[in-house]
Chain A
Amino acid sequence: MNKNNTEDSGGSQVYTTGSKSDEQKLIEAVQNGNKNAFGKLVRLHQKRLFRFVYGLVNSFDITEDIVQETFVKAFQKIETFNTAYAFYPWIVTIARNSAYNLIQREQKKESLEKLQEVGFDPKSTDMGALDKLLNDENSKRLYQAISALPVKYRTVFTLRHFEKMDYAEIASYLKIPPGTVDSRLYRARQMLLDAVKDLL
Chain B
Amino acid sequence: MEHQFYIDRLSAYFDNELKNEEYVIIHEHVQSCDECQKRLQELEKLENLISAKTELSDNDYWEQSAQKIEAALDTAPKTEIVKIDKSSSSSLWWKLTGVAASLVLVALFAFEQKDKDHELLLEDSYNYSIEKKVEDSTPTSVDTFRQDVSEEPTADYLEVQKGDKQDISLASKQAVDNLVSKPQAAPQPVRLKKELSETKSLQSSNSAASPVPIKENLRMLEFDNGGVETASVPAIKQIVPDKIEKNLDKSIEVLSEDVVDELKKDNLVGEESEEIKAKDKFATSTSVAIPSYETQAGISIDTKKNDHEIEYWRRKTTEYSIQLNEQRTKKSVRYLKSATTDTTDKKSAIIHADRDLVYRQLFEAYYNIALMTPDSTEEKQAVQFLTKHAQSVENSYNIDALYYLELYKIEKNRQKPAKE
Contact = CB atoms under 8 A, between A and B. Distances in A.
Contacts of A51: 54, 56
Interface residues on A, range: 35 or more
Contacts of A38: 70, 73
Interface of B: 8-12, 14-17, 42-43, 45-47, 49-50, 53-57, 59, 61-63, 65-66, 68-70, 72-73, 76-79, 81, 89, 265-271, 273, 276-277, 280, 283-287, 290, 353, 357, 360-361, 364
B266 A94 contact: yes
B11 A47 contact: no
A144 to B, nearest CB: 11
15 contacts: A1-B16, A2-B47, A14-B277, A35-B73, A68-B69, A72-B76, A80-B81, A80-B270, A93-B267, A133-B59, A134-B56, A135-B57, A142-B49, A171-B286, A192-B46
B69 A42 contact: yes
Closest CB pairs A-B (n = 9): A186-B11, A168-B287, A82-B270, A200-B45, A139-B53, A79-B81, A172-B284, A133-B56, A171-B286
Interface string A157-178: 0001110001111011000011
Contacts of A71: 69, 72-73
A199 to B, nearest CB: 6
A200 B283 CA distance: 39
Nearest to A81: B270
A122 interface: no
Contact of B8 (A12, A162, A168, A186): A186
A29 interface: no
Contact of A43 (B62, B265, B353): B62
Contact of B12 (A12, A43, A186): A186
B56 A47 contact: yes
User: What secondary structure prevails in chain B residues at the interface with A?
Assistant: helix
A40 B268 CA distance: 21
A101 to B, nearest CB: 12
A71 B78 CA distance: 12
Nearest to A170: B286
User: What secondary structure prevails in chain A residues at the interface with B?
Assistant: helix
A64 interface: yes
Contacts of A180: 357, 361
A9 B57 CA distance: 22
Contact of B72 (A2, A72, A133): A72
B346 to A, nearest CB: 11
B66 A43 contact: yes
Given A177-B286, A196-B49, A42 B72 contact: no
Contacts of B357: 179-180, 183
Interface in A63-94: 64, 67-68, 71-72, 75-82, 84-85, 89-90, 93-94
Nearest to B7: A186
Contact of B267 (A12, A134, A136, A189): A12
A75 B62 CA distance: 18
Nearest to B60: A132
A198 to B, nearest CB: 11
Contacts of A93: 265-267
A12 B49 CA distance: 28
B268 A133 contact: no
Given A1-B14, A12-B280, A133-B57, A72 B267 contact: no
